[in-house]
Amino acid sequence: MGLSPTQFAAISPLTKLYISIPLRRIGGGSNTFAHNFERWAKRHGHQIVLDIATAERAFVIAHKATEEQLERARQSRCRIVHRLDEHFEPNEDEYRRQKHAQIIALNRYADVTVFQSQFVFENVYPHIKPQEYCIIHNGSDPKVFRPPRQPGQNIGHVTWGVGDKKRLDLLFDVIERMPNERFWLVGRHQELPLPFRQLPNVVLRGQRSRRQMPEEYRRMKMLFFPSENDPCSNTVIEAILSGVPVCYHNSGGTPELVKDCGEPLENLEQLLSDLNTYRSRCRTRTDLHFSRVAERYMQV
């Protein structure tokens, strides 16, 4: 059954916490969540432990654990929170089939399942049907990702992946179609067969570290985000907190994240014509502050 707000437990002080993935300097998605959560936990007096059997609360990220680990956690009465940011599809390749089979196996050990968006819930719930679950969007640190004094002048794009669902073909097309706009591309664009470097209105920034990303967003006047069926994008959240409106593919969990802080791809011109209105809406999005997200994770 879904958890109502009254069913969220009080946050216990000085809890020993386990996060199931190692941290990296560069990357998005689950790694960013783990980084943000570890920083928040240490600030609030919680202890991060490396052995799941010594934890009081374990945060299992998707398939990043073993059944043996979760059995040990269960025996030590550790509360297991399974965080899911996935999209199950028919006719998946072998890697995704194995990944999703592992998620289903691990979820049997979970005390509560957290779906990252309504989209993720509707897509994944039929495959696992947990008894206790809730939906908690991602968040980020507004002290790190904050609007600049003067808005950026570029249309931005950020990607840590190069798969077909990123729809980088749509990005390439819009760059060619808008020669008078400058595009600020952060991530792995140089690895693609699409010749981004040959376009005269493109600045290729390459992969940037987590510490460098806030300044990259401050160079943008809007974010172009054509990814299809993205479950719950950290990039979108970081952009909004940075005061950067989002032009997005109207699929996946992205619309429920953006709300009125942007427009679907087909309304790009409308967004560009009224950026100040959308920027002002971005400044009101306290629901995306990571402290609120972390507190809910500690309460489930």
For residue 167, what pLDDT band results from cuts at 50, 70 and 90?
Answer: very high
Do the domain assignments include residue 196? yes
For residues 117 and 184, state if they share a domain. Answer: no
Q: Over the chain, what is the mean pLDDT?
A: 93
Q: Model confidence at 6, in pLDDT bands (50, 70, 90)?
A: very low
Ramachandran region, residue 45 (left: φ > 0; alpha: ψ -120 to 50; beta: rest): left
Q: Do 108 and 160 fall within a single domain? A: no
Q: Does residue 293 lie in a domain region? A: no
Among the candidates 102, 136, 170, a domain finishes at 136
**In terms of Cα–Cα distance, which of 77, 78, 122, 127 is closest to 102?**
127
Average pLDDT over residues 150-156: 97
Residue 92 domain-assigned (yes or no): yes
Same domain, 125 and 204: no
Confidence of residue 31 (pLDDT cuts 50, 70, 90): confident
Average pLDDT rounded to a whole number, residues 225-253: 97
Domain for residue 300, yes or no? no
**Residue among 85, 32, 43 nearest 210 (CA):** 32
Distances 210 to 24, 41, 114, 217 between C-alpha atoms, Å: 9, 18, 25, 12
Judge whether 129 lies within some domain.
Answer: yes
pLDDT higher than threshold 80 for residue 151: yes
User: Are 190 and 220 in the same domain?
Assistant: yes
pLDDT confidence band for 30 (50 / 70 / 90) = confident
Residues 119 and 70 in one domain: yes
Does the structure show a pLDDT above 60 at 5? Answer: no
The last residue of one of the domains, among 106, 136, 166, is 136
Give yes or no for residue 16 having a pLDDT over 60: yes
CATH of the domain at 221: 3.40.50.2000
Same domain, 47 and 100: yes
For 177, the domain range is 154-288
Whole-number pLDDT of residue 13 = 63
Query: Does residue 235 sit in the same domain as residue 182?
Result: yes
Query: Does 201 reside within a domain?
Result: yes
Q: Which tens digit of pLDDT belongs to each residue from 84-143? A: 999 999 999 999 999 999 999 999 999 999 999 999 999 999 999 999 999 999 999 999
176 shares a domain with 80: no
| pLDDT(60) > 80 | yes
Per-residue pLDDT reduced to its tens digit, 68-96: 999 999 999 999 999 999 999 999 999 99
Residue 22, Cβ density class (10 Å: 0-12 exposed, 13-18 middle, ≥19 buried)? exposed
Position 25 scores a pLDDT of: 57
Cα distance between residue 134 and residue 132, in whole Å: 7
Confidence of residue 264 (pLDDT cuts 50, 70, 90): very high
Q: Give residue-wise pLDDT tens across range 154-165.
A: 999 999 888 899
Contact of 21 with 61, CB cutoff 8 Å: yes
* DSSP calls for the chain: -BPPGGGSPPPPTT-EEEESS---SS--HHHHHHHHHHHHHHHTT-EE-S-GGG-SEEEEETT-S-HHHHHHHHHTT-EEEEEE-----SS--HHHHHHHHHHHHHHTT-SEEEESSHHHHHHHHHHH--SSEEE----B-TTTS---SS---EEEEEES--SGGG-HHHHHHHHHH-TTS-EEEEESGGGSSS-GGG-TTEEEEE---TTTHHHHHHTEEEEEE--SS-SS-HHHHHHHHTT--EEE-SSTTHHHHHTTSEEEGGGHHHHHHTHHHHHHHHTT-GGGBHHHHHHHHHH-
Query: How far apart are alpha carbons 123 and 102 in whole angstroms?
Result: 17
Six-digit token string for 107 = 């979820």
Q: Which amino acid is residue 180, in one-letter code?
A: N
**How much is the pTM?**
0.91
By percentage, how much of the chain surpasses pLDDT 90? 88
Residue 281 has pLDDT above 60, yes or no: yes
Structure token digits, residue 118: 């309504």
Pairing outcome for strands 133-135 and 154-159: unpaired
Evaluate whether residue 142 is within a structural domain: no
> How do beta strands 154-159 and 47-48 pair?
unpaired
Diameter over CA atoms, the chain:
62
* Residue 296 counted as domain residue: no
My answer on whether 109 and 182 are in the same domain is no
Number of domains observed in the structure of the chain: 2
Last residue of a domain, one of 78, 109, 136: 136
Per the structure block, which two tokens stand in for 47?
A: 């202890």
**pLDDT tens column, 271-280:** 999 999 999 9
Q: What is the mean pLDDT of residues 201-219?
A: 96
